[in-house]
Amino acid sequence: MASVGRLAGKVAIVTGAGSRGDGIGNGRAAAVLLARHGAKVALVDLNPDWAEETARLVKAEGGASQIYDGDVSDPATCEAIVERTIAGFGRIDILVNNVGVTGPRGDAVEVDVGSWDEAMRINVASMMLMSKYAIPEMVKTGGGSIINLTSVAGLRGGHPSLLYPTSKSAVIGLTRAMAAHHGRAGIRVNCIAPGTVYTPMVTSRGMSEDMRQARAEVTLLGTEGTGWDIGYGVLFLASDEARWITGVTLPIDGGASAGQSNLPVPPSEQPKH
């Protein structure tokens, strides 16, 4: 059942709130957890069918949600989503900017320029656009929390493509700048950098068990993450427990961004099955 207290009376917008298939992606997990803790949630997705399962999960726990479809890289669509959320729920307290694409492959020599521009608009400009229309509504009610989803790829190099880490680094810069611009209005802006999380989007690209194990090995914990791990990070940053946190990038990656462990696990510390 949806809890009362932690986010009671709050309203959240989660972009990319659906998932490809029945699995748990980052947006779906975030939406379910926010609703579980009392928030009413606007579920935004370019494909409304993907958000239907999220809405079903929210309803099954006694939560409230509405599905809004649209392309968040389009200014008019973002404005309409905010207007419809206000019309349906009366306010906006939390914005989770979760939409993103892998984008075109290739280095600076190889990358297609048109595809680059399109992907940058989806990965970066969409977050600015949703914030552009949501922030004035948050100010009316005393503030709010914006959580932008980036990637550990934005914290380090070594990615086979140029677009993806570049756009994810830009999200980190956008987060810091917005935190500085809007902090005195009571608006906190933070960023989550997921690591090797296994989600329906990852599944759709094809992922063998050997590939999954290899991804897990790059973490200090030697394990793979799930959408729920990211969702709980969103829940924390959206809540009053994080009232004095703004402008940060929180890696949720099993420690991968801190380094790579090559040390054997002592028998006494090996997991028991």
Catalytic positions, please?
Answer: 164
Q: How many CB atoms lie within 10 A of CB 210?
A: 8
Task: Say how far apart CA 128 and CA 97 lie, in whole Å.
Answer: 9
Hunting for tokens 């009376």 — which residue is that?
A: 9
Which residue, among 104, 92, 105, 225, has the nearest Cα to 146 in the 3D structure? 92
Query: Residues with Cβ < 8 Å from 169, sequence gap 6 or more?
Result: 150, 154, 155
What residue ranges in 98-228 does DSSP mark as E strands?
144-149, 187-194, 197-198, 225-226
Which residue, among 160, 148, 152, 149, has the nearest Cα to 220 in the 3D structure? 152
Read off the tokens for 17: 């709130």
Distances (CA, A) of 79 to 43, 44, 48, 71, 115: 15, 13, 18, 11, 25
Which residue, among 241, 255, 248, 226, has the nearest Cα to 29 in the 3D structure? 226
